[in-house]
A and B are shown apart, each in its own frame.
Chain A
Amino acid sequence: MATLLQHVKANVSGCFRPVSWWTLSVLLVSLIFIFINVCWLPPVLAAAQPGVVTKQVTAVFSGLRLNRATGTFDSVATLKNNSTDPVPGPLSLVITGITPSSVTLANATGTLSGVPYLDVPVANNILEAGATITAVLRFNNPSRVSFTFNHQVTQDPQGVLNYILNSDQVSQEDKQALQIIYAKYQANDLTGALDLLESHFAGPIEEYFNAYTFDSNGNKIPFEIPDTAKLVDTPKEYYNILTTAGAADGYYKYVFDPLSPPPPYLPNVNVVDITHATGFDDIALVDEKLNPITASDVKRFAYGHYVLENGQGMTKSVYKRVSGGGYAPNILGSDAHNYSGGLNFYEWRNLVISKTGLYCDIIGAVISGGSGGYVFYNFETHSGADPNKKYTDLFQLDDCISYQSVAIPLFMVLSQSDDTRDFASIITRKPPKKAVIYTHGTLLFNWGVPFPISLIIAETQSANKRLLDNGFTNVKHTFEEYGFAVDNFYELRWNGGNKTYYRSHAAQKLKSLIYTISARNLYNLNATEIYLVSQSHGTSVSNLAINAIDARDLQLLYGEIVKLISFAGVARQEYIQSKVKQINYNYPDPWQGDGIAPRAWNDYFPFGDPEDDPYVWLSFDPILRMLSSFIYFISASACTDSRPDDPLYYFGDKSPIAVDVDVRNIIPSYHFVVNWWEKDKGYRRNHEEMIVDYNYSRPITWDALNR
């Protein structure tokens, strides 16, 4: 080296030939080379990859070493907060794309759609700026092969498992993407985000579940979906697909509503209808294909906070399908937002009973707003797989505590069954404050607590029509039997001043129809005006129309005006309303001739000739302690006026029109006036109005009434 330097010195100081500069350049490069060679340090590798949710936190992994106790190969993950702000915990590491698949994460906290994740505890739940935490990842690698993986750092402020999966981490075969899929998108480009997801799934996405989004700094920003996004029909069903729209590029996070944390296994899901068109129908179908539901299916029921906004928007061919059902907590159908006249149809099929109060918000959400239109909730109980099975307890509404009714509360239950053996049952111990119930078919309400119903409508005709309009079949039965049971009410309270009533009338174009209202064992019936209206009629009921109200064992009627009205017949409705003024308090048993009053409507109706056997039966036996000022028992049986000249042509002497009011054993009664209205049992026979007023001061017996 010394010799070399001497030569360098000689060249530099004394030999100025051009070649000396060349040599000098070479030596300069050599010096640089030496410098590099001596001082070179390996680059800092394993550079931290940005976290998905918590961009401030990066993770670096050590190499693997053999765990001689477990046989796993372990790596130490160091998570560092590279930002200047504290990051709230807990944090988790999602390990994705382990290749080959024979290698697995042995100490995963859990998996999401098969993707393992590892919780990383954070002291005091805060990772200070610049602070680090470590976690050990243990990989099962029985074949001892080299492997690779990716990772994501996630943040879960709710303490609920909602990690982020990349859209390329859910296989197409995984049609139950149970957790969150995030989409990286350009600013305000939801369509791009959807395209990203849809391209992965090789098909359109039909459900968009959204919550909050985070901007590139991790700040929560309002959720936003542009109107340009649209829902499309697809046979595929993905759950909890998250798409986001926001203000900046980046990854975004699905966050539960902190005000309504769901059970750990049920994330909140928001479904947003974003088309907003008017005049079309929304159909949200929750179709449970599994019945009974097994424990493993519970995780599928991700309908928590099922929010359907602006429900008037979609055409019938565009709908959201949520397959699953049952155990759905807090189903919110805030359909009434901006509602202005469309038709929403929500169908939950085969929901099974839950005794844990998971259904409570089904009601609450529905009544959260609205100014009109129709919302149908079809809690269908019929099971295609088991048509003979009856589901007697469709819902159990326990602990429904959060209801915020507005001007026009809407809680409409449309019960439609294609099998009369099925019936729906709604059981609740803490029902909503206010409700409108719209039912079609056989529906049993069985609630045993005060339930201030403002309006219960049990209507079949228009419901049938709507169902037909919506493409439903199996509603044109030649014989339909509808029942509306409100048995076992305890302290039924209507809103004061409202004309609250049960009303029913028959569907048209039926050969026969029987409609009953069963209101047995009502207790503490308390309302300003109470209407129990059972109205069975129809212009084309060709065989039989029977209507009955069974309100036996009614106790404690407090209504100032109680109208218990039962119509049956085939006359026009307006005719009935205008003409039926008479009272029939005790029509003798017309068919059996034994003088024994019928015990139930189906004890004594025969299937007679077309349009010849309208029958009405009112039974209040016994009614205890009737305290109303005015009680009207109206039992009307009428027939068509299509042949007014010759009623016997239709009915004949042996085809009675039966009207029956059975009010035996009313004890004691304190009402001031009881109006018994009776319509005679034949067309244009004795149809003059009769009004009989009674002032009761003693218990009423059958004999007392049998005048």
Chain B
Amino acid sequence: MALHPITRGLGVLALTAGLAGFTNPASATVLNVAIDTSLLEGTQGQLAFDLTDGDSALNNTVTITNFVTDGTLNSPVVMEGGVSGALPSAVSISDTNFFNELLQPFIFATFISFTLTLTDNYDTNGSLPDQFALYMVNFDTPIPKPLFTTSDPTGNGALFAVDLGVNDGLPSYQPTTSPAASWSVTHAPTVPEPGASILFGTGLLALAGCRRRRQALECPADLAVSQPSFT
């Protein structure tokens, strides 16, 4: 008895769909960020999570998860552009606007840690890649200023900056004035994007299911080799 065509077709379709997803790959960079803010303990400032659109395409999202700190998240939180969510819960920043920013008031204690998941898309029709950068800033208006300077070559005081879709390492800067925080940014293992993995896995499971069912009906394990079925 042959495998039911519909069942087999569904499996192939799911697998094909999973493969098709790679023609427009949607990978992500996952960064673990750990910041020692001991020297700033008691300082009131803001965390600025900036995503700047460089390629004029809505194609990237930065997600902040696992936000842990012994400091105090204050208010009011200022969100510009494609920002959704609220710390310490997950926050998503998309490049819906040219400039997208979460400005989180904060009373520093000794540490901050969180995970950044950044999509890696670059539409080369644009001139520049999108960039995510993190700052610690004061409350100046209209543009808060960095609490300390860093080795950021632009002189803008970023702790680090990531060009999305560009395999150029991880530009992380060092503080150049004191008091300042110290930080480390490390890559987490790159994993397939969940959507693609689920679709691919579904296809494999469907095929496996079909095989099991067919073997159960047509080809017992002890006869499978010696008596191939031609019916």
Residues of A within 8 A of B (CB): 3-4, 7, 10-11, 14-17, 19, 23, 26-27, 29-30, 33-34, 36-38, 40-47, 61-69, 71, 73-76, 134, 136, 138, 141, 144-150
Q: With an 8 A cutoff between CB atoms, is B88 at the interface?
A: no
Q: Are B131 and A62 in contact (CB under 8 A)?
A: yes
Instruction: Out of A15, A36, A145, name the residue touching B224 (CB < 8 Å).
Output: A15
Residues of B within 8 A of A (CB): 2-3, 11-12, 15, 18-19, 22, 25, 27, 50, 52-54, 56, 97-99, 101, 120, 122, 124, 126-131, 133, 135, 137, 143-146, 152-158, 161, 163-168, 171, 190, 192, 196-197, 200, 203-204, 207-208, 211-212, 214-215, 219, 221, 224-225, 228-229
Q: Are A45 and B98 in contact (CB under 8 A)?
A: no
Instruction: Out of A27, A67, A68, name the residue touching B144 (CB < 8 Å).
Output: A68
Q: Are A11 and B211 in contact (CB under 8 A)?
A: yes
Q: Are B225 and A15 in contact (CB under 8 A)?
A: yes
Nearest B residue to A138, CB-CB: B154
Q: Are B211 and A37 in contact (CB under 8 A)?
A: no
Quote the shortest CB–CB distance from A334 to chain B (angstroms). Answer: 45
Quote the shortest CB–CB distance from B164 to chain A (angstroms). Answer: 7
Instruction: Out of B19, B98, B167, name the residue touching A29 (CB < 8 Å).
Output: B19
CB<8 Å pairs between A and B, sample of 6: A45-B166, A64-B128, A65-B131, A66-B50, A75-B154, A147-B98
- Provided the pairs A41-B167, A62-B131, A68-B135 are in contact, do residues A15 and B56 lie with their beta carbons within 8 angstroms? no
Instruction: Out of B27, B124, B211, name the residue touching A23 (CB < 8 Å).
Output: B211
- Provided the pairs A15-B225, A45-B166, A150-B127 are in contact, do residues A67 and B204 lie with their beta carbons within 8 angstroms? no
Given contacts A7-B211, A29-B19, 5 further A-B contacts (CB under 8 A): A19-B214, A26-B15, A61-B128, A66-B50, A147-B56
Q: Are A69 and B155 in contact (CB under 8 A)?
A: yes
Q: Which 3 A-B pairs have the closest CB atoms?
A: A63-B131, A74-B154, A146-B56
In this complex, the member of A44, A144, A146 whose beta carbon has the largest number of chain B beta carbons within 10 angstroms is A146
Q: Are A46 and B122 in contact (CB under 8 A)?
A: yes
Instruction: Out of A7, A37, A73, A148, name the residue touching B52 (CB < 8 Å).
Output: A73
Nearest A residue to B145, CB-CB: A68
In the complex, what residues of A have CB within 8 A of residue B12's CB? Answer: 26
Instruction: Out of A16, A17, A148, name the residue touching B127 (CB < 8 Å).
Output: A148
In the complex, what residues of A have CB within 8 A of residue B128's CB? Answer: 46, 61-64, 75
Nearest A residue to B221, CB-CB: A10
In the complex, what residues of A have CB within 8 A of residue B190's CB? Answer: 38
Instruction: Out of A29, A36, A42, A148, name the residue touching B120 (CB < 8 Å).
Output: A42
Q: Are A63 and B211 in contact (CB under 8 A)?
A: no
Instruction: Out of B54, B143, B207, B211, name the residue touching A71 (CB < 8 Å).
Output: B143
Q: Are A148 and B126 in contact (CB under 8 A)?
A: yes
Q: How far is the CA of A36 from the CA of B99 in the complex (A)?
A: 33
In the complex, what residues of B have CB within 8 A of residue A76's CB? Answer: 153-154
Instruction: Out of B3, B25, B212, name the residue touching A7 (CB < 8 Å).
Output: B212
Q: Are A44 and B167 in contact (CB under 8 A)?
A: yes
In this complex, the member of A44, A75, A141 whose beta carbon has the largest number of chain B beta carbons within 10 angstroms is A75
Q: Are A30 and B208 in contact (CB under 8 A)?
A: no
Q: Are A33 and B18 in contact (CB under 8 A)?
A: yes
In the complex, what residues of B have CB within 8 A of residue A74's CB? Answer: 154-156
Q: How far is the CA of A43 from the CA of B166 in the complex (A)?
A: 7
In the complex, what residues of A have CB within 8 A of residue B143's CB? Answer: 66, 68-69, 71
In the complex, what residues of B have CB within 8 A of residue A146's CB? Answer: 53-54, 56, 98, 126
Instruction: Out of B130, B196, B229, name the residue touching A17 (CB < 8 Å).
Output: B229
Quote the shortest CB–CB distance from A19 to chain B (angstroms). Answer: 7
Nearest A residue to B132, CB-CB: A63
Quote the shortest CB–CB distance from A261 to chain B (angstroms). Answer: 34
Q: Are A45 and B124 in contact (CB under 8 A)?
A: yes
Quote the shortest CB–CB distance from B10 to chain A (angstroms). Answer: 13
Quote the shortest CB–CB distance from A36 to chain B (angstroms). Answer: 6
In the complex, what residues of B have CB within 8 A of residue A30's CB? Answer: 15, 200, 203-204
Mostly, the A contact residues are mixed
In the complex, what residues of B have CB within 8 A of residue A23's CB? Answer: 207, 211
Q: Are A40 and B27 in contact (CB under 8 A)?
A: yes
Instruction: Out of A34, A46, A67, name the residue touching B166 (CB < 8 Å).
Output: A46
Nearest B residue to A13, CB-CB: B225
Q: Are B161 and A141 in contact (CB under 8 A)?
A: no
In the complex, what residues of B have CB within 8 A of residue A71's CB? Answer: 143
Q: Are B154 and A36 in contact (CB under 8 A)?
A: no
Nearest A residue to B218, CB-CB: A17
Nearest A residue to B161, CB-CB: A65
Q: How far is the CA of A69 from the CA of B143 in the complex (A)?
A: 8
Q: Are B163 and A144 in contact (CB under 8 A)?
A: no
- Provided the pairs A68-B156, A69-B156 are in contact, do residues A17 and B219 lie with their beta carbons within 8 angstroms? yes
- Provided the pairs A17-B219, A68-B145 are in contact, do residues A45 and B154 lie with their beta carbons within 8 angstroms? no
In the complex, what residues of B have CB within 8 A of residue A68's CB? Answer: 135, 137, 143-146, 156-157
Quote the shortest CB–CB distance from B73 to chain A (angstroms). Answer: 21
In the complex, what residues of A have CB within 8 A of residue B52's CB? Answer: 63-66, 73
In this complex, the member of A29, A38, A68, A138 whose beta carbon has the largest number of chain B beta carbons within 10 angstroms is A68
Q: Are A14 and B129 in contact (CB under 8 A)?
A: no
Q: How far is the CA of A138 from the CA of B152 in the complex (A)?
A: 14
Nearest A residue to B190, CB-CB: A38
Q: How far is the CA of A136 from the CA of B161 in the complex (A)?
A: 15
Q: Are B15 and A45 in contact (CB under 8 A)?
A: no
Q: How far is the CA of A41 from the CA of B165 in the complex (A)?
A: 9
Quote the shortest CB–CB distance from A554 to chain B (angstroms). Answer: 74
Q: Are B22 and A37 in contact (CB under 8 A)?
A: yes
Q: Are A63 and B153 in contact (CB under 8 A)?
A: no
Q: Are B126 and A62 in contact (CB under 8 A)?
A: no
Quote the shortest CB–CB distance from A165 to chain B (angstroms). Answer: 18
Q: How far is the CA of A149 from the CA of B157 in the complex (A)?
A: 25
Instruction: Out of B101, B152, B228, name the residue touching A16 (CB < 8 Å).
Output: B228
In the complex, what residues of B have CB within 8 A of residue A66's CB? Answer: 50, 52, 99, 101, 143, 156
In the complex, what residues of B have CB within 8 A of residue A134's CB? Answer: 153
Nearest B residue to A16, CB-CB: B228
Q: How far is the CA of A141 from the CA of B56 in the complex (A)?
A: 14
Q: Are A38 and B131 in contact (CB under 8 A)?
A: no
In the complex, what residues of B have CB within 8 A of residue A67's CB? Answer: 154-156
In the complex, what residues of A have CB within 8 A of residue B225's CB? Answer: 14-16
In the complex, what residues of B have CB within 8 A of residue A43's CB? Answer: 167
- Provided the pairs A68-B146, A74-B154 are in contact, do residues A63 and B164 lie with their beta carbons within 8 angstroms? yes
Q: How far is the CA of A145 from the CA of B203 in the complex (A)?
A: 42
Nearest A residue to B54, CB-CB: A63
Q: Are B131 and A64 in contact (CB under 8 A)?
A: yes
Q: How far is the CA of A200 from the CA of B110 in the complex (A)?
A: 63
Q: Are A15 and B124 in contact (CB under 8 A)?
A: no
Nearest B residue to A45, CB-CB: B122
Nearest A residue to B119, CB-CB: A42
- Provided the pairs A40-B25, A46-B166 are in contact, do residues A19 and B157 lie with their beta carbons within 8 angstroms? no
Q: How far is the CA of A71 from the CA of B143 in the complex (A)?
A: 7
Q: Are B166 and A42 in contact (CB under 8 A)?
A: yes
Instruction: Out of A15, A65, A147, name the residue touching B156 (CB < 8 Å).
Output: A65
Q: How far is the CA of A29 from the CA of B22 in the complex (A)?
A: 13
In this complex, the member of B171, B190, B196 whose beta carbon has the largest number of chain A beta carbons within 10 angstroms is B190
In the complex, what residues of B have CB within 8 A of residue A11's CB? Answer: 211
In this complex, the member of A7, A19, A34 whose beta carbon has the largest number of chain B beta carbons within 10 angstroms is A19
